[in-house]
């Protein structure tokens, strides 16, 4: 990609083209910028309002979560009220593809979540079902692999400290199977909360499947400005190497600020194109790391967003300690995606679950969680101090 007015030329990977409604990614097309609604999908007016606000902010594609038949019914009405390019996020119930495909332009499924529903059925049968539905309804597919919900069979094949290989193997396996079905209208995402892991896994995937368009993102990036910085680190290193065809900046922000994801994405792309990037990036700093998921329709209590900000402020005293605290907004991804953090919180409607690594500590009311979190954080700091003394 040549940039007018700049000495920098970025050679884009020559991936195949994938059409998503009125937008085409890959094959040298401009990098598309995406976001996701945070309203409850069954609240049609609010969801349509947010979709249209995101489009006005410059979103090329907007993703909507569908977890139930009622969500799917709402999506049909939402489609009537917006011309946006819509992607739907399927989780455990892959069969909902049949209900949502007539109303969207892309279906996203997570290979790891295919194991949660109809466990006795091979995943290949489920993917074949999704691909058939997508093909019949003029839909693209995204194979969305996330660090916290990887295919369990893949995880068991590698050591605990290797989170990249299971993700990579799962993505490559699904690409090969979709190809065998003669379904090639798909892209892949491989996301992690650690920018370095995002860089490595996407770089390795692109080496093996340079033909497949990549959707880039740092999952649970957190609140701005930290979440933007983490995402920028990954995007600079990948897009600068020609890797990446569509992006999402995942930020923990209130509903009325979701457009900031689009603005951040556009700004990062513009800076890379103009050569305004870091030449050397080292994210392995010995400091506190707070990760939090972007608000979406699965958040059952919007107090999660305020809690994430409160956690950031409360833990400021511990900023020089190399610990990770994860704050997750729902029960779908929260339990698994807090396992790798030193301390994890995942939010239910009326309480917050607190974890130490994969160990459950207990559930606490929203107004009691911060003192309990501080108690655990102080204990961890004391423990690490003893180990290094």
The predicted-structure confidence for 201-236, as pLDDT tens digits, reads as follows: 999 999 999 999 999 999 877 889 889 989 999 998
pLDDT given at position 280: 40
* CA 280 – CA 181 distance, rounded (Å): 42
* CA 97 – CA 69 distance, rounded (Å): 10
| DSSP codes of every residue in 147-179 | GGG--HHHHTTS-TT--HHHHHHHHHHHHHHHH
- For residue 342, what are its two tokens? 């030193």
Full pLDDT tens readout for the chain, 389 residues = 333 333 345 678 899 999 999 999 999 999 999 999 999 999 999 999 999 999 999 999 999 999 999 999 999 999 999 999 999 998 778 999 999 999 999 999 999 999 878 889 999 999 999 999 999 999 999 999 998 888 888 888 999 889 999 999 999 999 999 999 999 999 999 999 899 999 999 999 999 999 999 999 998 778 898 899 899 999 988 998 899 999 999 998 999 999 999 999 999 999 888 777 653 444 455 788 887 776 666 667 777 888 888 998 999 999 999 898 888 887 766 676 677 789 999 888 888 999 998 899 999 999 999 999 999 999 999 998 887 66
pLDDT given at position 80: 98
Q: Which among 257, 253, 245, 247 is positioned nearest to 218, based on CA atoms?
A: 247
Peptide bond into 225 cis (omega under 30): yes
pLDDT given at position 6: 37
Do residues 20 and 32 touch, judged by C-beta distance below 8 A?
A: yes
How does pLDDT run across 153-167, given as a tens digit for each residue?
Answer: 888 899 988 999 999
Q: Which among 182, 183, 124, 132 is positioned nearest to 153, based on CA atoms?
A: 124
Across the strands, what pairs with 354? 345, 362
Q: Which among 376, 383, 378 is positioned nearest to 359, based on CA atoms?
A: 376
Q: What is the residue-averaged pLDDT of the chain?
A: 89
pLDDT given at position 341: 84
pLDDT given at position 332: 64
pLDDT given at position 131: 98
Residue 356 Cα distances to 72, 109, 325, angstroms? 36, 29, 9
pLDDT given at position 297: 63
Do residues 330 and 299 touch, judged by C-beta distance below 8 A?
A: yes
* CA 207 – CA 269 distance, rounded (Å): 22
Full set of structural domains in the chain with CATH: 18-273 (3.20.20.20), 289-388 (3.30.413.10)
Residue 176 CB-density burial (10 A; 0-12 exposed, 13-18 middle, 19+ buried): exposed
The pTM (predicted TM-score) of the whole model is 0.79
């Amino acid at each position: 990609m040549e940039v007018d007015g700049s000495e920098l030329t970025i050679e884009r990977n020559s991936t195949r083209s994938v059409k998503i409604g009125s937008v085409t990614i890959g094959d040298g097309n401009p990098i598309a910028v995406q976001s996701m609604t945070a309203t409850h999908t069954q609240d049609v007016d609010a969801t349509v309002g947010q979709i249209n606000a995101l489009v006005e902010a410059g979103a090329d594609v907007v993703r909507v979560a569908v977890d139930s038949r009622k969500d799917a019914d709402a999506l049909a009405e939402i489609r009537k009220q917006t011309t946006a390019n819509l992607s739907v996020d399927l989780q455990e119930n892959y069969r909902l593809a049949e209900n949502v495909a007539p109303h969207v332009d892309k279906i996203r499924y997570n290979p790891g979540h295919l194991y949660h529903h109809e466990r006795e059925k091979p995943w290949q049968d489920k993917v074949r079902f999704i691909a058939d539905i997508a093909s019949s309804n003029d839909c693209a597919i995204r194979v969305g692999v996330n660090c916290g919900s990887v295919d369990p069979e893949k995880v068991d094949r590698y050591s605990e400290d290797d989170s990249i290989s299971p993700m990579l193997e799962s993505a490559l396996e699904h690409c090969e199977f979709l190809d065998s079905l003669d379904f090639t209208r798909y892209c892949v995402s491989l996301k992690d909360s650690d920018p370095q892991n995002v860089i490595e896994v996407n770089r390795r995937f692109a080496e093996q499947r340079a033909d497949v368009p990549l959707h880039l993102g740092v999952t649970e990036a957190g609140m701005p400005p930290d979440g933007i910085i983490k995402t920028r680190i990954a995007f600079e290193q990948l897009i600068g190497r020609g890797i990446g065809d569509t992006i999402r900046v995942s930020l923990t922000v209130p509903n009325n600020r979701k457009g900031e994801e689009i603005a951040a994405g556009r700004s990062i792309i513009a800076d890379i194109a103009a050569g305004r990037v870091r030449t050397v990036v080292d994210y392995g700093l010995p400091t506190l790391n707070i990760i939090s998921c972007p608000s979406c329709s699965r958040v059952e209590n919007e107090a999660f967003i305020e809690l994430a900000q409160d956690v950031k402020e409360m833990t400021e005293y511990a900023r020089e300690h190399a610990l990770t605290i994860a704050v997750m907004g729902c029960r779908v991804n929260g339990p698994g995606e807090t396992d790798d953090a030193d301390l994890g919180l995942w939010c239910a409607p009326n309480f917050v679950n607190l974890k130490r690594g994969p160990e459950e500590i207990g559930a606490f009311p929203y107004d009691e969680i911060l003192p309990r979190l501080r108690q655990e954080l102080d204990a961890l700091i004391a423990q690490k101090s003893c180990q290094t003394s």
